[in-house]
Amino acid sequence: MSGSNVKQSATVAPPVATSTTVATLLAAGGARQMCMIVNDSAAILYVKFGAGASSSDYSVAIAAGGYYEVPVPMYGGVLTGTLATGTGNARVTSY
């Protein structure tokens, strides 16, 4: 592929510690074109396109061990997440 809008590198963030308390998975801004989230925990990860994710206020629920790719065109705001139970990690890659 060629073109001026093709990114040649990805940002693999360190694992984001998740629990039943809201965590910021990805800060707002940046020139990202794609983002994927892996739920590296044993519980459902509730992700919100915005602040304050909860089990009753979320954009997508990612099953334990599951994967989600944010649709294009890419949302540029903050992504937050919270687990249904326990603790774990979210692994976020963007480019």
Would residue 87 count as lying in a domain? yes
pLDDT band at 1 (very low <50, low <70, confident <90, very high): very low
Would residue 74 count as lying in a domain? yes
Q: What is the pLDDT of residue 32?
A: 81
Model confidence at 43: pLDDT above 90: yes
CATH number, domain containing residue 39? 2.60.120
CB atoms within 10 A of CB 73: 7
Q: What pLDDT digit, counting tens, does each position of 49-92 carry?
A: 999 999 999 999 999 999 999 988 888 899 999 999 999 999 99
Question: pTM of the full predicted structure?
Answer: 0.87
Task: State the average pLDDT over residues 24-51.
Answer: 93
Within 13 A of 82's CA, how many CA atoms are on the CB side?
15
Total domain count, the chain: 1
